[in-house]
Amino acid sequence: MRENREAHTSKRKKRPTAKKYAKQSMTREEHRKHLKRLYLKTLLITLAVCLALLCAAYGVFLYMIGGLDRTEVDEDNLSVNESVNEKVINIALYGVDSRNHDYNGRSDVVMVASVNTKTGQVKLVSIARDTYVAIPGYNNTRINHAFSYGGPELAIRTLNENFGLDVTDYVAVNFDSLAEVIDAMGGVEVDVTEAERRQINAYLLSGEPLYETGYITLNGPQAVSYSRIRKIDNDDMRTSRQREVLASLFEKAKEINPLEYPSYVRKFAPMVQTSLSNDELLKLASVGLKGSSLTLDQAAFPNEYIHAEGQTIGGAWYYIYDLAQAKDMLHKYLYEDIPFAQYASSEDEEKD
């Protein structure tokens, strides 16, 4: 009996000792520490990979824009209007009358490209080159003279002072480079009349003459010649043609496969001059990634909603219109998204 009891007792499991409990507890603690170390290691590896990808992407970006003709403008000399909408970026666009691949001369194309970083809306506003304005340090004269008098810095200041804008950067292209850009994009589609066709051929600097009319594709030299026509009508139609060419390029750009962006940017970079910094270009590029959702609106000064007349002063012909009214119209359009027609209607209602 006693032997059976002892045998039965010997088969019972022994209770864990305090030492064993401590050993089990330490194992769980070590396990937690191991998981923590694993988590931190994974996090660090992930961050390192992300950083490497970002560095690589930024390296590609720097490679793409490596050929840009970069200049600097002193913002303290630009008469920038600070009290405007920060979500809207305004950039001056200049087409310089030079055929030597330089940027010395008058800006026969004067535009403001306005980008709403929140909505992706792009607005393009032409200002007639013969617009009579005050150029700081010089007499009142055509707005396109500012670029030849003092380069992009004076040209931007003239825009800001006469139209109350907040422009701090510009993009300039000469006519030779514009032709190359258009050719690289496969030409532009525009509606050409017979009178315009004759003018295109009369002032074509290179390449094949144009034999067709209607909605056709123009190559680079033909499109540049088309953009400069004004003898058959007026400067309003000239700026309209310029915007038509840029609108066609805009639509073509939207169709480009994003994977092809680097090659296009690399190709176009040497053809333009700009003061935009890398950070500013990246910000604009993020808007450009909206692709097909981007929209383009166009406007011009003078227009049918503002009284304008041509005057000869000192033997030169100028466009004269109320710049204070133009400034107000432009502000409403760029910053409050009020079209010129709506602005004019509200003005008429106030008068009544």
Residues 301-350 pLDDT 10s: 999 999 999 899 989 999 999 999 999 999 999 999 999 999 988 766 66
pLDDT recorded at residue 313: 92
Distance CA 146, CA 152 (A): 8
- The torsion of the CA quartet 322, 122, 188, 205, rounded to 10 degrees, works out to 50
Distance CA 195, CA 231 (A): 10
Range of 97-106, 144-153, 226-235 with top mean pLDDT: 144-153
Cα 263 to chain centroid distance, Å, stands at 18
pLDDT band, residue 35 (cuts 50/70/90): low
pLDDT recorded at residue 252: 84
The length of the chain in residues reads 352
What single-letter DSSP state applies at residue 156? H
| More confidently predicted of 19 and 239 | 239
Residues 49-95 pLDDT 10s: 555 544 444 445 555 666 677 888 999 999 998 767 778 899 999 98
pLDDT band, residue 101 (cuts 50/70/90): low
pLDDT band, residue 38 (cuts 50/70/90): low
pLDDT band, residue 40 (cuts 50/70/90): low
Answer yes or no: is pLDDT of 198 > 70.
Answer: yes
Mean pLDDT for the chain overall: 80
pLDDT recorded at residue 64: 60
Answer yes or no: is pLDDT of 7 > 70.
Answer: no
Q: Are 107 and 144 in contact (CB under 8 A)?
A: yes
pLDDT recorded at residue 312: 93
% of the chain surpassing 90 pLDDT: 34
Answer yes or no: is pLDDT of 214 > 90.
Answer: yes
| More confidently predicted of 236 and 157 | 157
User: Can you give the pTM of this predicted structure?
Assistant: 0.73
Work out the average pLDDT over 153-157: 96
What single-letter DSSP state applies at residue 233? S
pLDDT recorded at residue 45: 57
What single-letter DSSP state applies at residue 131? B
Distance CA 346, CA 338 (A): 10
Sign of the torsion angle spanned by Cα atoms 221, 227, 228, 230: positive
Distance CA 45, CA 75 (A): 42
